[in-house]
Amino acid sequence: MGSVKKQGDYMAIQVDERLQHIAFIMDGNGRWAKKHGMPREYGHSVGASTFEKVVRYCGDVGIKTVTVYAFSTENWKRPEVEVKAIMLIFGEYLKKAAKKADEYGLRVVFLGDKRVFPENIAKDMTALEIATAKHPLTLNIAINYGGRDEIVHAVNTLIGMGKTSITEDDISAHLYTAHCPPPDLIVRTGAEKRLSNFLLWQSAYAELYFCDTLWPDMSEAEIDAAIEDFYKRKRRFGGV
Ligand code: FPP
């Protein structure tokens, strides 16, 4: 961790090459809504604003790749009204995403199988990926994403290519994240301490940070705390 740079009225930490990729499990929207006497859908809506704030801040502190877990392959099991609300919020985000991505220099990549989405949404997702492909920072949005599903998908792709023996590099190269380095730091809000099928392959040597903050309350100060904690860790990647 290097210098401290003034960002408006906030002093932002600046990271170095040791922290290139940060990933977030955005947990706690439902509990936050309950705490405020509101329906769960409202928590997701506020959570979406928090997501935009967090992505922007990570860019400000010099992190080149941000990944967020927006919707898992298991989240379809939630009540229909909640799933519909999340998809509506996502659709709204897609409408303004190209402009925001231009403004912040973000390349947007979706992790997960797009084929489950309505055709117009899937088309907008692909269009956004193409339109932002040359931007310097990367934002991965994991949506309809599952870590196990991703590994199976990679292996099936390799089988389809006629491979009869595969290496770790082969699998890494066929994950949804083939375009970026693995996460250095995974942050989970909402007090639970598990990965919930997120980046299972890529998290092999990631540092994990768990906090009680509910996602809609995620702040710049909490991100700074996670970064400071990360820099205290000794990363050995299996060596001594
Ligand atoms: C987990 O909280 C959150 C989700 C499953 C959905 C996250 C979605 C968003 C932040 C909005 C859409 C995203 C984008 C990219 C625009 P939870 O519902 O499990 O909370 P709980 O554990 O308190 O019930």
What DSSP designation does 35 have? H
Please indicate, yes or no, if residue 67 is contained in any of the structural domains. yes
pLDDT confidence of 11, banded at 50, 70, 90? Answer: low
Q: Is 198 exposed, middle or buried (0-12, 13-18, 19+ CB in 10 A)?
A: buried
| CATH, residue 19 | 3.40.1180.10
Q: Which of 16, 29, 75, 140 is catalytic?
A: 75
pLDDT confidence of 240, banded at 50, 70, 90? Answer: confident
| Per-residue pLDDT tens over the stretch 72-94 | 999 999 999 999 999 999 999 99
What is the rounded distance in angstroms from the CA atom of residue 47 to the CA atom of residue 28? 9
CA of 10 to the centre of ligand 1 (A): 27
Please indicate, yes or no, if residue 188 is contained in any of the structural domains. yes
Contacts of 214 (CB under 8 A, 6+ apart): 27, 28, 29, 31, 32, 35, 189, 190
CA of 217 to the centre of ligand 1 (A): 13
| Per-residue pLDDT tens over the stretch 173-215 | 999 999 999 999 999 999 999 999 999 999 999 999 999 999 9
Determine which of 101-105, 170-174, 231-235 has the lowest per-residue pLDDT on average: 231-235
Write the residue with the smallest CA distance to atom 5 of ligand 1: 71
Give the range of the structural domain holding residue 98, as residue numbers without chain letter. 3-230
Could you tell me which of 28, 10, 24, 32 has the C-alpha nearest to residue 227? 24
Please indicate, yes or no, if residue 89 is contained in any of the structural domains. yes
Q: How many domains does the chain have?
A: 1
What is the rounded distance in angstroms from the CA atom of residue 119 to the CA atom of residue 135? 26
Could you tell me which of 127, 137, 140, 141 has the C-alpha nearest to residue 104? 137
